[in-house]
């Protein structure tokens, strides 16, 4: 009955719309509460009032969205607006940047963070978030790695689905739900040279094996919208690429929602050199399958003319308009366009203590202990502790990039957290480190030093690619000066990307990577430093030894000339190893576990059957230890070359003091499936290697054979 009335309502409405009204519904314009692209909307209010705008980005708060919604309702057809915004890792309460949160490997936690972000966003007048960003990237020069889940497609797919579930909840009309927008479709994380917006040139195999799985998982999880990417694919910009948006996304993957372009990317087809005018670009975009135009205004200005000249059909335009209107119906906008404009609700939800607590938990789990020689960490809360580095005292840098409506005034900096947790028992002194002599003196006078270095928030994110990913030369000088004191020194690193820490690794006994941890970051950081909690994060993107190694991945293919340090003509560098300094999956905790041999339940696996692979793990410490065991697989001989290892499962276990446990993973055909020569999923009989360990570079292996049908 409800569906019936929805169809009748929408078709009746569509029947009353002119070509211009329809173009208006497909036009997404930006307000001025944030600037996220090169072009501004000059006359937003006038366009809304005349029905030339179907959705708005970069406007939030109950008052601001109400004011624009009133204009929309006063427009000739009175169709309400959808409000969208870049809620990337929280809205008011900020969670760790996505790359950091991914390092928790905790899907439930990630889903909860998205759910909490959705509730705050929805209470702030919003219906739509431009998240999750699921672009796989193997290149830390690209600043937007901060916004994704890292290098691994399998884990990236799980995280993408969890975020979609969190944002959209069970029902879009629920006042705590928002539409998710999967971005950037597609391959945006592989620009040449790691330079943002640069050309992507990729094999179909890399697309299928490495880059597509997270987009697809997000769509299978029910994501209602997809954002196109800025790059070209096989010479055709994504926003005008019919193979990508229609043949693949809609037909092959069955995507039912609607497609929005990225900021001005229809017009940018002119710069790409595949359209001469906005009108040509608009035609290409609509034909490719785009439904909504973000900020080019090319649909607005060109669709009526294109219809008139029969260069696009009314069916094409109507299909796009109906998708957008149907979402407005599903959001409940035709019933009550102001349901999300309630100041009292907003005040009750923003920065709620439970959300702040969730942010603290997320921050704790996002940190990765890279090195801890001599168990320098955790520190005792006693004596004198010198905290050094401007980043230690910055709430803003703790929040990270894309902070939506986050407020640095209520963000806990590292220094504030350290003072709160240890200040009553230890003497905490601070220096920015701008003055090297002062920093050296403070370090010499202290019992312990916590040196906080890395990237400021502007050094990563969109349009923030770098050709070097080391600490700055001043930070290196500061590090040398502090180390000269001879005092035990913990290096805490903040960043939005994997850094090149080879020099630091050779000098510092302990390195704790803290990324940008969000509103509660400093508190969580101090809890880890002083042992109130143990670090459990595992890298989801390797840290290279040298930027010259990137792009790089632990999932590399075997070459014809595998690495051999002694053989000149093997695949290697003259001046660095092949592996990451800190590989994918790496992350220490306080007191590590011992691994026993890996065993398999049967040397042969029947078609459609399973084998169980197990590892014994012992906690030799006098306290409980939590470890994330990772299972990797390798298909030894197949019809196409397969990666030397691929993550296929993991389990987080907590072992009591002295406990030994057998941890088991069941392997089925689904885990052995890969895109065959024709890119269709296939399982091939033959030998496989299963590997278990605490990181992708520390594994114990066992073999089994997947039998063929006749065997
Ligand atoms: C970014 C998107 C973002 C959009 C809207 C673009 O520049 O690439 O990720 O969602 O702006 O702010």
Residue 25: in which H helix or E strand, if any?
Answer: helix 19-25
Q: Which of 33, 37, 180 to mutate to test the pocket of ligand 1 (most atoms within 8 A of CB)?
A: 37
> Taking Cα atoms as reference points, which of 207, 210, 261, 208 lies closest to residue 237?
261
| CB contact burial 353-364 (16+ within 10 A = b; e otherwise) | eebbebbbbbbb
Quote the ligand 1 centre to 683 CA distance (angstroms).
38
393 with 529, same domain: the answer is yes
602 with 697, same domain: the answer is yes
**What confidence score (pLDDT) does residue 709 get?**
84
Q: Could you tell me if residue 521 is inside a domain?
A: yes
543 with 654, same domain: the answer is no
The residue out of 517, 548, 579 marking a domain boundary is 548
Can you tell me the distance from the alpha carbon of 620 to that of 624, in angstroms, rounded to the nearest whole number?
Answer: 9
Going by pLDDT thresholds of 50, 70 and 90, the confidence category of residue 80 is: very high
498 with 644, same domain: the answer is no
Interval 137-163 mean pLDDT: 98
Quote the ligand 1 centre to 708 CA distance (angstroms).
48
Residue range 229-281, pLDDT digits in tens: 999 999 999 999 999 999 999 999 999 999 999 999 999 999 999 999 999 99
401 with 522, same domain: the answer is yes
193-to-189, 231, 358, 407, 506 alpha-carbon distances in Å? 11, 13, 37, 34, 28
Can you tell me the distance from the alpha carbon of 670 to that of 381, in angstroms, rounded to the nearest whole number?
Answer: 49
The protein residue with its alpha carbon nearest to ligand 1, atom 2, reads 262
Residue 53, pLDDT > 90, answer yes
The residue out of 533, 548, 563 marking a domain boundary is 548
Quote the ligand 1 centre to 36 CA distance (angstroms).
6
The protein residue with its alpha carbon nearest to ligand 1, atom 6, reads 263
Quote the ligand 1 centre to 108 CA distance (angstroms).
26
Residue 710, pLDDT > 80, answer no
Quote the ligand 1 centre to 295 CA distance (angstroms).
11
Mean of all residue pLDDT scores within the chain:
97
The protein residue with its alpha carbon nearest to ligand 1, atom 10, reads 130
Residue range 122-131, pLDDT digits in tens: 999 999 999 9
Q: Which of 40, 82, 89, 263 to mutate to test the pocket of ligand 1 (most atoms within 8 A of CB)?
A: 263
Quote the ligand 1 centre to 124 CA distance (angstroms).
19
The ligand 1 site (C-beta within 6 Å) comprises: 36-37, 57, 86, 130, 183, 262-263, 462
- The question of whether 407 is a catalytic residue gets the answer no
The protein residue with its alpha carbon nearest to ligand 1, atom 8, reads 262
360 with 485, same domain: the answer is yes
Task: Give the ligand 1 atom nearest the CA of 58.
Answer: 12
543 with 607, same domain: the answer is no
Q: Could you tell me if residue 642 is inside a domain?
A: yes
Interval 653-662 mean pLDDT: 98
Number of structural domains the chain divides into: 2
Contact 436, 476 (CB under 8 A): no
Task: Give the ligand 1 atom nearest the CA of 36.
Answer: 12
Can you tell me the distance from the alpha carbon of 146 to that of 102, in angstroms, rounded to the nearest whole number?
Answer: 10
Can you tell me the distance from the alpha carbon of 423 to that of 520, in angstroms, rounded to the nearest whole number?
Answer: 17
Quote the ligand 1 centre to 85 CA distance (angstroms).
9
Q: Could you tell me if residue 621 is inside a domain?
A: yes
Contact 36, 463 (CB under 8 A): no
Interval 438-464 mean pLDDT: 98
> Taking Cα atoms as reference points, which of 559, 596, 600, 584 lies closest to residue 687?
600
**What confidence score (pLDDT) does residue 1 get?**
47
CATH code of the domain covering residue 599: 2.60.40.10
Angle between helices 353-366 and 521-529 (to 10 degrees): 50
**Residue 468: exposure state from Cβ atoms within 10 A (0-12, 13-18, ≥19):** exposed
The residue out of 548, 563, 584 marking a domain boundary is 548
Residue 455, pLDDT > 80, answer yes
pTM for the structure as a whole = 0.98
Task: Give the ligand 1 atom nearest the CA of 183.
Answer: 9
Contact 177, 126 (CB under 8 A): no
Can you tell me the distance from the alpha carbon of 27 to that of 52, in angstroms, rounded to the nearest whole number?
Answer: 7
655 with 522, same domain: the answer is no
Which residue range(s) make up the domain with 464?
354-548
Q: Could you tell me if residue 223 is inside a domain?
A: no
Contact 140, 134 (CB under 8 A): no
**What confidence score (pLDDT) does residue 492 get?**
99
> Taking Cα atoms as reference points, which of 384, 377, 330 lies closest to residue 82?
330
Residue range 353-379, pLDDT digits in tens: 999 999 999 999 999 999 999 999 999
Name the percent of the chain lying above pLDDT 90.
Answer: 98
Q: Is 547 helix (H, G, I), strand (E, B) or coil?
A: helix
Question: Is the alpha carbon torsion for 511, 516, 522, 528 positive or negative?
Answer: negative
Q: Could you tell me if residue 609 is inside a domain?
A: yes
Interval 673-688 mean pLDDT: 98
Active-site position among 262, 278, 635, 671: 262
Residue 116, pLDDT > 70, answer yes
Residue range 187-202, pLDDT digits in tens: 999 999 999 999 999 9
Going by pLDDT thresholds of 50, 70 and 90, the confidence category of residue 2 is: low
Interval 461-486 mean pLDDT: 98
Residue range 560-604, pLDDT digits in tens: 999 999 999 999 999 999 999 999 999 999 998 999 999 999 999
**What confidence score (pLDDT) does residue 630 get?**
98
371 with 469, same domain: the answer is yes
CATH code of the domain covering residue 510: 3.40.50.1700
Can you tell me the distance from the alpha carbon of 573 to that of 303, in angstroms, rounded to the nearest whole number?
Answer: 54
Residue 319, pLDDT > 80, answer yes
> Taking Cα atoms as reference points, which of 201, 222, 200 lies closest to residue 144?
200
411 with 543, same domain: the answer is yes
Name the percent of the chain lying above pLDDT 70.
Answer: 99
Look at the block and give the residue holding tokens 């998205």.
114
Q: Could you tell me if residue 479 is inside a domain?
A: yes
396 with 544, same domain: the answer is yes
Residue 115, pLDDT > 90, answer yes
**What confidence score (pLDDT) does residue 4 get?**
64
Q: Could you tell me if residue 342 is inside a domain?
A: no
Q: Could you tell me if residue 661 is inside a domain?
A: yes
Can you tell me the distance from the alpha carbon of 646 to that of 674, in angstroms, rounded to the nearest whole number?
Answer: 11
**Angle, CA of 608, 611 and 613, to the nearest 5°:** 150
Contact 582, 598 (CB under 8 A): no
């Amino acid at each position: 009955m409800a569906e019936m009335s929805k169809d009748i309502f929408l078709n009746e409405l569509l029947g009353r719309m002119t070509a211009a009204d329809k173009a208006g519904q497909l036009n997404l314009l930006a307000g001025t509460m944030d600037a996220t692209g090169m072009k501004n909307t000059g006359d937003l209010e006038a366009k809304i009032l005349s029905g030339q705008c179907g959705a708005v980005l970069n406007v939030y708060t109950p008052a601001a969205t109400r004011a624009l919604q009133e204009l929309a309702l006063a427009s000739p057809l009175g169709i309400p607006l959808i409000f969208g915004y870049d809620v990337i890792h929280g809205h008011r309460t900020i969670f760790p940047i996505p790359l950091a949160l991914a390092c928790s490997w905790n899907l439930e936690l990630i889903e909860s963070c998205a759910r909490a972000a959705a509730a705050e966003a929805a209470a702030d007048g919003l219906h739509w978030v431009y998240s999750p960003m699921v672009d796989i990237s193997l290149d830390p020069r690209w600043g937007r790695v901060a916004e994704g889940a890292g290098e691994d497609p399998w884990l990236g797919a799980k995280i993408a689905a969890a975020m979609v579930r969190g944002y959209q909840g069970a029902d879009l009309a629920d006042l705590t739900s928002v539409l998710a927008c999967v971005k950037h479709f597609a391959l945006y994380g592989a620009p040449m040279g790691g330079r943002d917006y640069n050309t992507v040139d990729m094999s179909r195999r890399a697309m299928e094996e490495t880059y597509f799985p997270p987009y697809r998982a997000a769509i299978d999880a029910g994501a209602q919208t997809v954002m196109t990417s800025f790059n070209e694919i096989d010479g055709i910009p994504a926003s005008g690429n019919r193979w990508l948006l229609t043949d693949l996304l809609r037909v092959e993957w069955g995507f039912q929602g609607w497609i929005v372009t990225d900021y001005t990317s229809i017009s940018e087809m002119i710069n790409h050199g595949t359209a001469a005018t906005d009108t040509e670009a608009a035609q290409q975009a609509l034909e490719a399958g785009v439904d909504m135009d973000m900020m080019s205004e090319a649909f607005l200005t060109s669709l009526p003319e294109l219809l008139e000249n029969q260069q696009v059909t009314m069916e094409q335009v109507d299909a796009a308009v109906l998708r957008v209107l149907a979402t407005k119906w599903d959001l409940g906008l035709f019933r009550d366009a102001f349901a999300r404009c309630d100041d009292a609700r907003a005040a009750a939800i923003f920065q709620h203590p439970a959300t702040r607590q969730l942010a603290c938990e997320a921050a704790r789990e996002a940190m990765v202990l890279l090195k801890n020689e001599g168990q320098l960490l955790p520190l005792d809360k006693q004596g004198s502790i010198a905290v050094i580095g401007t980043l230690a005292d910055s709430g803003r840098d703790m929040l990270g990039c894309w902070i939506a409506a986050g407020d640095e005034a209520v963000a806990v900096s590292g220094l504030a957290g350290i003072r709160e947790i240890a200040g009553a028992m230890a003497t905490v002194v601070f220096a920015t480190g701008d003055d090297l002599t002062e920093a050296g003196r403070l370090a010499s006078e202290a019992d312990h030093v916590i040196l906080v270095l890395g990237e400021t928030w502007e050094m990563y994110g969109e349009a923030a690619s770098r050709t070097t990913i080391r600490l700055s030369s001043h930070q290196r000088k500061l590090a040398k000066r502090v180390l000269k004191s001879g005092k035990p020194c913990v290096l805490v690193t903040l960043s939005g990307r994997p850094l090149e820490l080879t020099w630091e690794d050779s000098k510092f006994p302990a390195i704790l990577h803290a990324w940008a941890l969000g509103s509660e970051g400093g508190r969580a950081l101090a809890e880890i430093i002083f042992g109130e909690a143990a670090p459990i994060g595992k890298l989801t993107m390797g840290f290279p030894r040298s930027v010259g190694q990137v792009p790089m991945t632990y999932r590399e293919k075997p070459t014809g000339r595998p690495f051999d340090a002694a053989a000149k003509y093997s695949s290697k560098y003259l001046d660095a190893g092949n592996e990451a300094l800190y590989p994918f999956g790496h992350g220490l905790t306080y007191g590590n576990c011992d691994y026993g041999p890996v065993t398999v339940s049967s040397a042969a696996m029947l078609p459609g059957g399973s084998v169980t692979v197990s590892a014994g793990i012992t906690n030799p410490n006098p306290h409980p230890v939590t470890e994330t065991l990772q299972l990797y697989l390798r298909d030894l001989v197949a019809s196409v070359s397969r990666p030397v290892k691929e993550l296929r499962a993991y389990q987080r276990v907590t072992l009591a003091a002295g406990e030994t446990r057998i941890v088991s993973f069941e392997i089925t055909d689904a885990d052995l499936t890969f895109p065959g020569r024709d890119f269709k999923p296939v399982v091939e009989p033959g030998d496989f290697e299963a590997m278990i360990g605490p990181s992708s570079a520390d594994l114990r292996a066992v073999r089994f054979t997947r039998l063929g049908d006749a065997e």
